[in-house]
């Protein structure tokens, strides 16, 4: 992990660099030309220039050994600049991941040092034309090449699809089926029989190069097999999902905020109906405040997960999935709302929110789609529900009720309502065997993500109150602002879990007509509805914070 000062300096250099070299006009020009600015990407990853890649590389191999929290901060900042360029930088990190987790010491020294010292660009080649979400269906093969009964190398045949940096990387991690099972290999550009297609003509992240790869009897020496043992590929890929999904979560967060940070100042200057849009409650409470709230709920989850990864709690794949799911969906909604917030201007290229909206769209697709995230979350937490005989979320709710006693303003009691309701929905689904419906399973994934985020955001607010927030944590909102943000999100989560949970159970015939009232009671519906009291005044306060009107409000009140 790096210290706070170094992280701050890195973030500042990134911002200064973007200000100087990547003004809006340049980004729009590259976007229109559908061009990856390779010189910029190389500059960012060059050891004697910006050297962003050093953050990702462990110290023993010449890097700075940034932890998950550091990487989240950098990814958010890169996404605020341009998600295409951010993706190009991330691709090197993804490409080197199988090496970081699974390579032999010699392989790590060779390849990670080359990334740190020479700034080589990597690509991560997992997806295939027929194997996206279902990676085990991959068809690329790696056949052993024997000499005197000894494996000296492999011949790789097959295709990869949608590979970031596919046409520009210096080295590639490629997943292929060896006789022992899926296995990662390292290939270098220019290898005989290895070609890539023209860049894809994409909806967004047009500054990132995405290309299909083809392997026609490409020979690699045996020492290019990552880790030296066949069949470890899927495990190695799984080992870093928590971490890598956290980065895409940070992308959703950064891009969502980049859009809102254009919509907010715009609305202070745009006069309609005799006053700035920022003073219209129907505008702010639909197009701005709810998106700020959702993004900050995602941030809470990202930060907590990053801290836990850095504390050595394991790969936290499910938490990474929740973070990615919530932040990427929130980022998309924020960007979409920002177009609306700018009206006709938002619909043009010039005002940038249209580009951000196209760019952030990718975050719910790559590194696992939102639907795959819902499935991952639901399956894992279903096990927790079963193992604790339905108590998992009730216990979590009780912890929040205890927190409420110390911090009555952070919305912990409302978050607890959502978690109690979730436990009841899951138990009813278990009794009626409703997870046989994939639709129910995936929707439960969404409800779980909302309820967990509500609890997490309340904890974050409480930590601010106790002065225990991570020293590197984002401090855009102080306690008086984060408390209403937390309460607003918790109200949404509680209503969503209780109402949509009820609907799912009834829809799947999990209760009879006569049983509905008792089930409604068990969900705490009345309490959930009553908890909506205060919503509008909390939204008013958050809008005042966003528009710097808190002092004025206090003066008026006095």
When the beta carbons of 8 and 436 are compared against ligand FAD, the nearer one is 436
Q: Which of residues 367-396 bind ligand FAD (CB under 6 A)?
A: 368-369, 371-372
Q: Which one-letter DSSP state was computed for residue 390?
A: T
Binding flag, residue 362, ligand FAD (CB under 6 A) = yes
* DSSP, residue by residue, 83-124: HHHHHHHHHHHHHHHHHHHH--HHHHHHHHHHHHHH---EEE
Site for ligand FAD in 103-162 (CB under 6 A): 124-127, 132-133, 162
Q: Which is nearer to ligand FAD, 45 or 263 (CB)?
A: 45
Least distance CB 79 / ligand FAD (angstroms): 14
Q: How many residues bind ligand FAD (CB under 6 A)?
A: 20
As a whole number of angstroms, the distance between CA 84 and CA 87 comes to 5
Candidate residues 163, 186, 302, 356; the one interacting with ligand FAD per rule CB under 6 A: 163
Taking the C-alpha atoms of residue 261 and residue 259, their distance in angstroms, rounded to an integer, is 5
In the bound state with ligand FAD, the residue whose beta carbon lies nearer, of 94 and 485, is 94
The residue among 441, 433, 471, 431 whose CA lies nearest residue 381 is: 441
Residues in contact with ligand FAD, shown as a per-residue x/- string from 181 to 220 under the rule CB under 6 A: ---------------------x--x----x----------
- Got the DSSP string for 14-30? HHHHHHHH--HHHHHHH
Whose Cβ is closer to ligand FAD: residue 125's or residue 501's?
A: 125
Instruction: Report DSSP state, residue 217.
Output: E
Active-site residue, selected from the candidate residues 304, 367, 374, 446? 367
Half-sphere exposure of 127 (CA within 13 A, CB side): 18
Binding of residue 247 to ligand FAD (CB under 6 A): no
Closest contact distance (angstroms) between CB of 364 and ligand FAD is: 9
Among 130, 112, 126, smallest CA distance to 55 is for 112
Query: Can you state the angle between helices 68-81 and 289-310, rounded to 10 degrees?
Result: 150
> Rounded to a whole number, what is the distance in angstroms from the first to the last CA of the chain?
47
Using the minimum distance from each CB to ligand FAD, give the nearer residue, 8 or 139: 139
User: Rule CB under 6 A: is residue 72 a binding residue for ligand FAD?
Assistant: no
Among the residue ranges 312-320, 366-374, 392-400, 406-414, the one whose residues contact ligand FAD (CB under 6 A): 366-374
Known catalytic membership, residue 452: no
The radius of gyration of the chain's CA atoms, rounded to the nearest angstrom, is: 24
Which listed range, 113-121, 340-348, 365-373, 480-488, lies at the site for ligand FAD (CB under 6 A)?
365-373
Residue closer to ligand FAD, measured from CB, 160 or 428: 160
| Per-state percent for the chain, helix, strand, coil, to nearest 5 | 65, 10, 25
CA–CA dist 388, 383 (Å, integer): 9
Contacts 24+ apart (CB under 8 A), 526-529: 527/417, 528/417, 528/418, 528/421, 528/494, 528/495, 528/498, 528/499, 529/495
Min dist. Cβ of residue 219 to ligand FAD (A):
22
Q: For residues 318-355, b (16+ Cβ closer than 10 Å) or e, as one string?
A: bbbbbbbbbbbbbbbbbbbbbbebbeeebeeeebbbbb
Decide: is 168 part of the binding site for ligand FAD (CB under 6 A).
no
Cβ nearer to ligand FAD, comparing 369 with 384: 369
- Work out the burial of residue 71: count CB atoms within 10 Å of its CB; fewer than 13 is exposed, 13-18 middle, 19 or more buried: buried
Cβ proximity to ligand FAD: between 41 and 362 the closer is: 362
Decide: is 244 part of the binding site for ligand FAD (CB under 6 A).
no
Q: How far is CA 463 from CA 120, 300, 327, 406, 460, in A?
A: 41, 11, 21, 11, 5
Residue number of the CB atom closest to ligand FAD: 132
Nearest approach, Cβ of 315 to ligand FAD (angstroms)?
18
Site for ligand FAD in 33-62 (CB under 6 A): none
Residue from the set 100, 107, 164, 363 that interacts with ligand FAD by CB under 6 A: 164
* Closest distance to ligand FAD from the beta carbon of 133 (Å): 3
Buried b (16+ CB within 10 A) or exposed e, 72-92: bbbbbbbbbbbbbbbbbbbbb
In the complex, minimum distance from the CB of residue 492 to ligand FAD, in angstroms, rounded to a whole number? 24
Residues of the shown chain interacting with ligand FAD in the complex, contacts defined by CB under 6 A = 91, 124-127, 132-133, 162-164, 202, 205, 210, 362, 365-366, 368-369, 371-372
Q: Which amino acids are annotated catalytic?
A: 367
């Amino acid at each position: 992990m790096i210290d706070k000062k170094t992280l701050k300096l890195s973030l500042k250099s990134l911002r200064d660099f973007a200000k100087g070299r990547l003004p809006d006009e340049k980004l729009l020009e590259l976007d229109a030309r559908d061009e990856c600015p390779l010189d910029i990407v190389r500059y960012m990853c060059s050891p004697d220039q910006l050297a962003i890649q050093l953050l990702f590389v462990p110290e023993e191999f010449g890097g700075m050994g940034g932890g998950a929290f550091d990487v989240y901060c950098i990814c958010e900042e890169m996404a605020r600049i341009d998600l295409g360029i951010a993706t190009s930088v991330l691709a090197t990190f993804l490409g080197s991941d199988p090496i970081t987790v699974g390579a032999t010491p010699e392989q790590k020294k060779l390849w990670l040092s080359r990334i740190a010292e020479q700034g080589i660009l990597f690509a991560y080649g997992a997806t295939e034309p027929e194997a996206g979400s279902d990676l085990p269906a991959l068809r690329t093969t790696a056949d052993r090449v024997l000499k005197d009964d000894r494996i000296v190398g492999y011949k790789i045949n097959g295709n990869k699809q949608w590979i970031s940096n596919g046409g520009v990387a210096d080295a590639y991690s490629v997943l292929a089926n060896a006789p022992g099972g899926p296995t990662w290999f390292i290939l270098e550009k220019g290898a005989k029989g290895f070609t890539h297609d023209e860049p894809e003509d994409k909806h967004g992240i047009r500054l990132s190069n995405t290309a299909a790869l083809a392997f026609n009897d490409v020979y690699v020496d045996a020492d290019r097999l990552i880790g030296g043992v066949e069949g470890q590929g899927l495990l190695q890929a799984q080992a870093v999902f928590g971490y890598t999904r956290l980065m895409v979560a940070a992308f959703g967060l950064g891009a969502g905020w980049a859009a809102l940070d254009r919509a907010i100042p715009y609305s202070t200057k745009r006069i309609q109906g005799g006053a700035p849009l920022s003073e219209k409650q129907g505008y702010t409470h639909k197009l701005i405040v709810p998106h700020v709230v959702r993004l900050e709920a995602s941030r809470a989850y990202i930060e907590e997960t990053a801290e836990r990864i850095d504390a050595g709690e394991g790969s936290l794949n499910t938490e990474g999935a929740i973070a990615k799911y919530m932040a990427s969906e929130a980022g998309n909604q924020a960007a979409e709302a920002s177009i609306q917030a700018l009206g006709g201007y938002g619909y043009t290229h010039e005002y940038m929110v249209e580009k951000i909206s196209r760019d952030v769209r990718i975050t719910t697709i790559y590194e696992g789609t939102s639907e795959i995230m819902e499935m991952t979350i639901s399956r894992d937490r279903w096990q927790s529900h079963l193992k604790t005989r339905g108590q998992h979320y009730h216990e979590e709710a009780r912890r929040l009720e205890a927190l409420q006693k110390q911090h009555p303003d952070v919305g912990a009691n409302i978050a607890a309502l959502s978690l109690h309701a979730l436990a009841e929905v899951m138990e009813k689904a278990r009794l009626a065997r409703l997870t046989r419906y994939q639709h129910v399973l995936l929707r439960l994934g969404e409800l779980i993500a909302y309820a967990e985020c509500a609890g997490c955001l309340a904890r974050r607010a409480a930590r601010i109150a106790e002065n225990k927030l991570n020293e590197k944590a984002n401090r855009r909102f102080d306690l008086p602002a984060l408390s209403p943000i937390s309460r607003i999100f918790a109200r949404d989560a509680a209503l969503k879990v209780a109402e949509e949970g009820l609907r799912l159970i009834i829809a799947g015939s999990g209760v009879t007509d006569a049983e509905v009232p008792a089930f409604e009671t068990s969900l705490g519906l009345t309490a959930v509805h009553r908890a909506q009291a205060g919503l509008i005044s909390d939204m008013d306060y958050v809008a005042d914070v966003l528009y710097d009107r808190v002092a004025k409000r206090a003066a008026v009140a006095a």
